Structure 1
Amino acid sequence: MSTLPAALRMVEVSGTEALWLLEGSTLGRLVYPQRDLTAVRPGHHTWEYGRLVVRTPAPAAAVPFDVTYHVDEIRAATGTGWSVTVAGPVDMITDPDEAAHYRRTLSGWTHGPHDNLLRLHPRTVSGFRLVRAVA
């Protein structure tokens, strides 16, 4: 016999806490429009110098100027956890030394035309926690 989880609610967190949660994770999803669809690609990330660096298998030509990056950690058993979304303009990291540094420090996918490094300059940061509702 299974029991239903207790009622949950979403609690918005500050931008500072959202960035703290983001810094404690390494895997997220890059979200951007591609033709008439929404593309979602996995990404490994790191937060450095007020910018989010993402290594993703998204084709460089397909990534627009503005993107959204989403990270979450939700426990399936309890339904509790958190979710953070960062949006803003991106640029490709093309400097060979900088790219080599991030290829060493961020795990990624097979090197090739779809293994790209992006630097996201956050314009908006939002997040929330999923917590048990208090009776």
Structure 2
Amino acid sequence: MEADASHDHSTDVGRRVALRREQLGLSREETAGRAGVAPQYLRYLEEHEASPSIGSLTRVARALDTTVAELSGAEAPTPARPEGGGAVVSLDPDECYELVAAHTVGRIAIGTEQGPAIVPVTYAVVEGAVVFQAAGLVGGKERLAFEVDSIDEAGGVGWSVQLAGPVTEITDEPERRRLAEALPETTWPPTARARWLRLTPTRTTGHRVAPRSAA
């Protein structure tokens, strides 16, 4: 059945999350609301080879009245990592955008008078562009690089997506109010004196590291 095909690439964590949610009779939207995560993130977690952070998994576990150990299968024997590390595979643009849209914290790479700098930012994907707030450092810059990743060092799996393109400042107040609804309630860094910025990607690249048997 087509409805089940989306789970072909899910991890054990994703299958446990979906099973527990269904046991409680909760929709993805209800579960995401309880956990304080985006519904798109929960869908990606259930259907793909996701590597959730401990913070995200803790929030999902609380929303499902269970524990991180239950969702991660901590009681089960830890499988041996494949010799030689995982296989690196390229992600197509659609996969890259799906991953970026399912998360809310990324990093921008910029040049400063002191040299290159990496700045964490809270963001949202709106109409194909990455919208975020950042102070001083990015003011007046014409192009930026943006990166989002999720790495499970213990399991030897993960992914990384990089976007690059021109960035423009958003000065229209009604548009700012509209975009504020898309951003998470808690922003990073603190938004006092921060500029509203929009990155329009012109280059998209991504890679996933998976066990060789799954690549």
How would you bin the TM-score normalised by the shorter chain?
0.7 to 0.9
More helix by percentage: 2
- Which amino acid in structure 2 is aligned with residue 120 of structure 1? L
CA contact (8 A) 1:89 1:122 kept: yes
Corresponding position: 1:68 with 2:145: yes
Q: Which has the higher contact order (CA 8 A, sep 6+)?
A: 1
Distance (Å, rounded) in 2 between the aligned partners of 1:110 and 1:122: 24
Corresponding position: 1:5 with 2:85: no
Q: Which runs of 5+ in 2 are unaligned?
A: 1-78
* Structure number, greater radius of gyration: 2
Distance (Å, rounded) in 2 between the aligned partners of 1:133 and 1:116: 43
Deviation, 1:88, is 0.2
Given the two structures, how large is their TM-score scaled by the length of structure 1? 0.84
Secondary structure of the structure 1 residue equivalent to 2:99: helix
- Percent of aligned pairs with the same amino acid: 27
Cα distance change on mapping 1:57 and 1:17 into 2, 3 Å: same
Corresponding position: 1:20 with 2:98: yes
More strand by percentage: 1
Distance (Å, rounded) in 2 between the aligned partners of 1:87 and 1:23: 15
Q: Which residue of 2 aligns with 1:129?
A: 208
CA contact (8 A) 2:110 2:138 kept: no
Deviation, 1:130, is 0.8
Count of paired positions: 132
CA contact (8 A) 1:41 1:58 kept: no
Distance (Å, rounded) in 1 between the aligned partners of 2:145 and 2:91: 18
Which of the numbers 113, 116, 120 marks the counterpart of 2:195? 116
Distance (Å, rounded) in 2 between the aligned partners of 1:127 and 1:27: 16
Deviation, 1:105, is 3.6
